[in-house]
Amino acid sequence: MALAAMGVVFGDIGTSPLYTMREVFGGPHGVPVTPDNVLGVLSLVFWALTIVVSLKYVVFIMRADNRGEGGIMALTSLALRTTESPRLAGGMAALGLFGAALFYGDGVITPAISVLSAVEGLEVATPAFRPYVLPVALVVLVGLFLIRRRGTAQVGAVFGPVMLFWFTTLGVLGALNVIRHPDVLRAISPIYALNFFVANQWHGFLALGAVVLAITGGEALYADMGHFGRRPIKLAWFGYVFPALYLNYLGQGALIIDDPGAVKNPFYLLVPEALLYPMVGLSTLATIIASQAVISGAFSLTRQAVQLGYCPRVHVIHTSDREAGQIYVPNVNWMLLGAVVALVVGFRSSSALASAYGIAVTLTMMIDTVLAFVVVRALWRWRLGWAVAFVVLFFTVDFAFFSANSIKIFDGGWFPLALGLAIHTLLMTWKRGREALARRMALDTIPLKLLIQSLVYDPPLRVPGTGIFMTTDLDGVPRALLHNLLHNKVLHDRVVLVNVITEDVPYVSVAERVRVEALDSGFFRVFVRYGFKDDPDIPAALEMGAGQGLPFELMESSFFLGRETLIPRKGSPLAVWRERLFIVMFRNAHSAAEFFSIPANRVVEFGTQVEL
């Protein structure tokens, strides 16, 4: 499991040595290349990896799992359990949702900067390759997104061994240079980091904006915890990945001290000339693996947002018959590809892209710290002093990195923020729009109890079979049922009202999935519960109801679904722009029948117009 985790969890942070040291000394706010500065930067990298990745995520936050699942959505769910205040819950939900939206910015920048920095190794081999770096990077990136439809199942088996070889190579290359210059090992002492700030002052503080590149991907350890568990990730990090990573940084630092001109690309200049081309190939493969993990994370996050009611239904393709988590979301895939290509063409180099990288990651880390404080204080019952010490230590470090990165906003950092804000706006618009639509439709709904009572005095024609209606209002009559009764003048022998509930847990066990409630006049209410990572399958759920007195035969059943056409109106609770945006999103939402795995030949749709 630890080996498999290397192929998924550590791809992003594992490719950071490609560009981190280069940007610290050669970026827009590069510090002078002196032995003391090199040792100071190496010390900062070590303590950043130790405090943020090792202590904050691996030791503390990874303990905050939602039934084994990690990530900002799981952390938000845990935090929401600690309060009964609607206002406070709404604030924490919005904060967590913004952190999730920022992940898409990371999902765009990671493939772009990683692949570009890997391919730029060709320039180190010979300047003659310089005109081909951008086209080669674009070809690799386009190919990366094109093969996403096949899923990761076919190539996933090689991810772990490849990344094991990658980290071994990083460690060996670094160790060879450390042996020649063992003095760089002194950088582990925090004194060198403190001296760096004293010597460079404001310039040294700005250098944190490049040092943070060493920890980008640290939050992925927590986000991917559900795939492997806490222990394998912890074992892989402390036992192999962390030592190999830092050895490489030490090796690059030793090289720069020995030859200050190596700052132009210390990672590739660390490689023996005879192995340069194989190293470019290995680096490109490692960055592809790192990008695959981030893109898969964007797919999973989108599905979770749909399940939790923050995103319209989207078309989801399962790429594996055995692993439910291996999915492909075409709309998200093409959106990410378009954004990545635009980034690469617009910025043209990994150094320019580094200006856009870091600010979204550090902001997400700050949000993680705030939500984790709520969890450790209210859910874990930590003493106030310990909880305050927790938040002060980690929030101070996170805020320092974020502040240093904030100067990048006008140099490209605006892009991930703008993308995150746009996605957050879409998610909140969908949530508020659905709530407004539900309130509006409730005004025109008659009580279910009243309808059932009326059937005793004026019964319609009953026909054989089962009529199934999806509903969100437990006490109201679905519009599709009213339309069927009004226009067709009939009811089925059995009328089933299905209410789908998405819990704030990743998975709901089969034993807890379905509850059937028998009503009068052949009516049944069926409550179907899913976790936010479950795949809804209503026919399969109804089959489980047979043991609770509800026989189900698919070919003798009809599913009646409503298809609403939304019309804007004056006096809507939504702002005009939000109302129109919601209507556009509603029109483009994926079919409910396909989302709930209902066969198309068993579906009857009734159209209706609704004024928001």
Which whole-number Å values give the CA distances from 368 to 158, 216, 298, in the listed order? 32, 14, 18
State pTM to two decimals: 0.83
d(CA 599, CA 591): 11
Alpha-carbon distance of 369 to 393, in angstroms, equals 10
DSSP state of 262: G
Amino acid in position 306: V
What is the reported pLDDT for 326?
66
Q: Reduce the DSSP state of residue 170 to 3 states and report it.
A: helix
Contacts of residue 381, Cβ cutoff 8 Å, sequence gap at least 6 = none
> Of 23, 24, 20, 53, nearest to 38 (Cα)?
24
Q: How high is the pLDDT of residue 320?
A: 58
- Among 518, 506, 498, 514, which residue's Cα sits nearest to residue 596? 498
Three-class SS of 513-537 = CEEEEECCCCEEEEEEEECCCCCCC
Q: Let me know if 111 is exposed, middle or buried by CB neighbors in 10 A (0-12, 13-18, 19+).
A: buried
Distance CA 393, CA 501 (A): 39
Strands 557-567 and 603-611: parallel
Spell out the domains of the chain, with CATH numbers in brackets. Answer: 2-431 (1.20.1740.10), 445-611 (no CATH)
Q: What distance lies between CA 612 and its chain's CA centroid?
A: 31
Please identify every stretch of the chain with a pLDDT value under 70, giving residue numbers as ranges.
Answer: 150-158, 227, 319-326
Residue 476 sits at the vertex; the CA angle it makes with 471 and 482, to the nearest 5 degrees, is 80
Q: How far apart are CA 416 and CA 408, in angstroms?
A: 11
User: What is the per-residue pLDDT for 8?
Assistant: 74
| Pairing label, strands 461-470, 557-567 | parallel
Alpha helices in 120-152 (DSSP H): 121-125, 130-146
The per-residue pLDDT for 321 is 52
- Give the contacts of 446 (CB within 8 A, at least 6 positions apart): 476, 477, 482
Spatial CA neighbour of 304 closest among 461, 418, 414, 427? 427
CA distance 246 to 252: 10
pLDDT for 68: 75
Whole-angstrom distance, CA of residue 528 vs CA of residue 321? 23
Short-list 576, 502, 542, CA closest to 304: 502
If 0-12 CB within 10 Å is exposed, 13-18 middle and 19+ buried, where does residue 3 land? middle
CB atoms within 10 A of CB 25: 24
pLDDT at 4: 76
Cβ pair 535, 527 in contact under 8 A: no
> In DSSP terms, which residues pair with 534 in a beta bridge?
none
pLDDT value for 522: 92
